[in-house]
């Protein structure tokens, strides 16, 4: 069975600090896909990134970066120089491609001005 663990329930940082959100996954499949979604206070779910199991290159997009390590089954998300607008719940999710996404419980990030 597939499983996603986000051990950090809530994180609070001061604006401009860097913060890393952890995601550990379990799967028996050799082909799988990992996702991060953001849920701001308004409630909608915003897609951030998708990574397949064959691509372990780290990804950077502006202040966001993702570190995918198959050896530790982790797909961590770092926000550099955090801003108040980054305050949200962040979800990590996993799929083998054909099965529905399995979500972690989410990490609530609060960025304080």
Partner 1 sequence: NAGVTQTPKFRILKIGQSMTLQCTQDMNHNYMYWYRQDPGMGLKLIYYSVGAGITDKGEVPNGYNVSRSTTEDFPLRLELAAPSQTSVYFCASRRPTPRGGEKLFFGSGTQLSVL
Query: Which positions touch partner 1 (CB under 8 A)?
Result: 6, 9, 31-33, 35, 43-45, 47, 50, 52, 91, 95-98, 100-106
Tokens of 105: 């419980």
Distances (CA, A) of 50 to 6, 38, 46, 94, 105: 17, 13, 12, 10, 18
- CB 43 → partner 1: shortest distance, Å? 6
Q: Which is nearer to partner 1, 54 or 85 (CB)?
A: 54
- CB 45 → partner 1: shortest distance, Å? 4
- CB 81 → partner 1: shortest distance, Å? 26
- CB 3 → partner 1: shortest distance, Å? 11
Q: Which is nearer to partner 1, 71 or 98 (CB)?
A: 98
Q: Which is nearer to partner 1, 31 or 58 (CB)?
A: 31
- Rg from Cα positions in the chain: 14
CA 58 – CA 14 distance, rounded (Å): 25
Q: Is 73 exposed, middle or buried (0-12, 13-18, 19+ CB in 10 A)?
A: middle
Tokens of 86: 């980054």
């Amino acid at each position: 069975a597939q499983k996603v663990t986000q051990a950090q329930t809530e994180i609070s940082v001061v604006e401009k600090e860097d913060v890393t959100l952890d995601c550990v996954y379990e799967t028996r499949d050799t082909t799988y896909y990992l996702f991060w979604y953001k849920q701001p206070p308004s409630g909608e779910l915003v897609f951030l990134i998708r990574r397949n199991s064959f691509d372990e290159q780290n990804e950077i997009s502006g202040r966001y970066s993702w570190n995918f390590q198959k050896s530790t089954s982790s797909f961590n998300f770092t926000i550099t120089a955090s801003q108040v607008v980054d305050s949200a719940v962040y979800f990590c999710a996993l799929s083998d491609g054909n099965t529905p996404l399995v979500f972690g419980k989410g990490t609530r990030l609060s960025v304080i001005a």
